[in-house]
């Protein structure tokens, strides 16, 4: 399956970006082959609604799950509408987060875990 991981850099060795809406980029990984593609996040400096537009990008990329540090309510609502499962609290490198996900050690978030604007100016 295809999953999207918020990342501070462009490789699987990059650290997971703790922000969803204003993550530096999204790494879309095929969990079977570990093939991946990088999507630059154009919402990094958006005036508002970054979480929503980021969620739209991830949905359009065909991801079935998102691994990130924190996710606010607007992004969570959008991801849910797109049928994307959300896993918050991911840390370490992108590859490590994917491994934890594959081994079932990440728990699915039941809702947003931060307030709106959490990732501003960080």
Tokens for 98, please give them.
Answer: 């994917």
Interaction mask 4-23, another protein, x per CB under 8 A: --------------------
Binding of another protein at residue 34 (CB under 8 A)? Answer: no
Q: What are phi and psi of 31, to 5 degrees?
A: -70, -20
Instruction: Select from 12-20, 27-35, 78-86, 94-102 the region that touches another protein (CB under 8 A).
Output: 78-86
Q: Which residues contact 105 (CB under 8 A, 6 or more apart)?
A: none
Interface pick for another protein out of 32, 33, 45, 47 (rule CB under 8 A): 47
Tokens 């039941």 correspond to: 110
Contact of 63 with 1, CB cutoff 8 Å: no
Positions that interact with another protein (CB under 8 A): 46-50, 52-53, 55-56, 59, 74, 77-78, 81-83
């Amino acid at each position: 399956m295809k999953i999207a991981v918020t990342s501070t850099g462009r490789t699987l060795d990059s650290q997971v970006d703790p922000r969803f809406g204003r993550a530096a980029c999204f790494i879309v990984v095929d969990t079977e082959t570990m093939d991946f593609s990088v999507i630059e996040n154009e919402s990094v400096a958006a005036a508002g609604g970054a979480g929503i537009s980021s969620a739209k990008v991830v949905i359009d990329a065909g991801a079935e799950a998102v691994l990130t540090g924190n996710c606010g309510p607007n992004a969570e609502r959008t991801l849910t509408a797109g049928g994307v499962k959300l896993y918050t609290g991911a840390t370490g490198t992108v590859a490590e987060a994917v491994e934890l996900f594959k081994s079932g050690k990440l728990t699915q978030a039941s809702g947003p875990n931060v307030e709106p604007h959490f990732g501003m100016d960080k």
